Amino acid sequence: MHKKWKIFVFALICPMLVICSTAEKQTEAEERSELIQPAKWWEKLPRPIYATLEKVETSQEWFEVYKLTEDTYAIYEPYQFEEAISYLVIGKERAIVIDTGTGIGDLKKTVSELTQLPVSVVNTHTHWDHIGDNHQFEEIACFNNPDCIKKLRTDIDNESLQRHITGDSIWKSLPKDFDSTTWTLPSVSPTSLLEDGDLIDLGERILEVIYTPGHSPGSICLLDKKYRILFTGDTFFPGPLYAYPADVNIDQYIASIEKLNSRVDEYDYLCSGHNDPWVKSEVIPRVADAFQEIMAGKGNFKEDEGIRRYYFEGFDILIRADMTKK
């Protein structure tokens, strides 16, 4: 190869190698860190809240279904590390499913056992474990944000999904009809784009879209005025809140928690995207205080590979050390 070309190719490859190794290192760190995924995380299951909820039998073993109100169901995936929860919210004329889980189970089949009404999807955000079964539905709404639309329109391939169904990520058998070698999350196109303050009318049941970016671009919460429930997606769940990944905007995240806090008198319970589907709203002011504490350089934490886990009552916050320095 001509010397000039060699220098050119080397100059091209060198930064690529640095980028690749940084990305790999980050993934390895995520997989390794006990702060993010503790070994044998399933030993703390079942979480106490489930003994207090009404369980509904459906045909899919992968899901546990709980009836929260007469026409609200939590569809929980306890066997995969994310412990994702989707919600079926039924009105008089139609229903929505808020998020569609990991895509390992057959969500549409489960939903069809719970309602005969037409069902469309509303995604609280577009992380993989909230959009898994989107492709089973014809109508899909997400927030009107270019990043959300792009993510929904992008397939997630089999290779990048493997780490979610291997090793410690799973503690029970995958469904019999699930093929791990061909599993992908097919792209979809949103059929409706939501704005802050939009009202979703299901027939005698109205949900308000509250724009809460920060955990990811375009994250939303949904306020159910009838039952005084707030569906929070990943903006809040009773576990370690993810404020560390690359697509987090910490200033927006804190502002969004403040926004929810300013409306805390409008809801009594939170239906969160992971772990527990029924959390008292009194936690939201404490989350707001927790972020203030962290940003003021206070709070108890453990640190690993530049990621800190701060401990609070009923939730934790995972945040990069560099984000805490203003």
What dihedral do alpha carbons 74, 80, 84, 87 form, nearest 10°?
-30
Residue closer to Zn ion, measured from CB, 127 or 151? 127
Q: Residue 113 CB, nearest distance to Zn ion (Å)?
A: 27
Locate 294 and state its tokens. Answer: 């962290």
Terminal-residue alpha carbon distance, the chain: 49
Q: Please give the single-letter amino acid code of residue 235.
A: T
Q: Residue 112 CB, nearest distance to Zn ion (Å)?
A: 26
For residues 71 and 170, what is the distance between their CA atoms, to the nearest angstrom?
A: 30
Q: Which of the ranges 61-69, 164-172, 194-202, 227-235 carries the binding residues for Zn ion, by CB under 5 A?
A: 227-235
Q: Which of the ranges 105-113, 124-132, 206-214, 317-325 carries the binding residues for Zn ion, by CB under 5 A?
A: 124-132
Q: Residue 236 CB, nearest distance to Zn ion (Å)?
A: 11
- Per-residue mark of binding to Zn ion, 24-43 (x: CB under 5 A): --------------------
- Per-residue mark of binding to Zn ion, 231-250 (x: CB under 5 A): ---x----------------
| Residues sharing a CB contact under 8 Å with residue 116, sequence separation 6 or more, in sequence order | none
Residue 207 near residue 180, CB atoms below 8 Å: no
Q: Which of the ranges 1-9, 102-110, 120-128, 275-283 carries the binding residues for Zn ion, by CB under 5 A?
A: 120-128
Q: Residue 148 CB, nearest distance to Zn ion (Å)?
A: 12
For residues 183 and 11, what is the distance between their CA atoms, to the nearest angstrom?
A: 37
For residues 312 and 290, what is the distance between their CA atoms, to the nearest angstrom?
A: 7
Q: Residue 5 CB, nearest distance to Zn ion (Å)?
A: 44
- 77 contacts Zn ion (rule: CB under 5 A): no
Residue closer to Zn ion, measured from CB, 105 or 273? 273
Q: Residue 19 CB, nearest distance to Zn ion (Å)?
A: 24
Residue 224's SS3 state is strand
Residue closer to Zn ion, measured from CB, 91 or 239? 239
Q: Residue 82 CB, nearest distance to Zn ion (Å)?
A: 9
| Residues sharing a CB contact under 8 Å with residue 284, sequence separation 6 or more, in sequence order | 236, 257, 260, 261, 264, 270
Residue closer to Zn ion, measured from CB, 205 or 215? 215
295: nearest Cα among 262, 255, 240, 237: 255
Locate 299 and state its tokens. Answer: 């709070």
Q: Which residues pair with 75 in a beta bridge?
A: 65, 86
Q: Residue 235 CB, nearest distance to Zn ion (Å)?
A: 9
Give the relative orientation of helices 250-262 and 283-295 as an angle to the nearest 10 degrees.
150
Half-sphere exposure of 186 (CA within 13 A, CB side): 8
Residue closer to Zn ion, measured from CB, 91 or 233? 233
Q: Which of the ranges 23-31, 121-129, 173-181, 315-323 carries the binding residues for Zn ion, by CB under 5 A?
A: 121-129
Residue closer to Zn ion, measured from CB, 202 or 220? 220
Q: Residue 61 CB, nearest distance to Zn ion (Å)?
A: 25
Q: Which of the ranges 84-92, 111-119, 228-236, 298-306 carries the binding residues for Zn ion, by CB under 5 A?
A: 228-236
| Residues sharing a CB contact under 8 Å with residue 249, sequence separation 6 or more, in sequence order | 213, 214, 217
| Residues across the chain | 326
Per CB under 5 A, the list member of 94, 127, 164, 274 interacting with Zn ion is 127
Residue closer to Zn ion, measured from CB, 247 or 266? 247
- Contacts with Zn ion by CB under 5 A lie at 127, 234
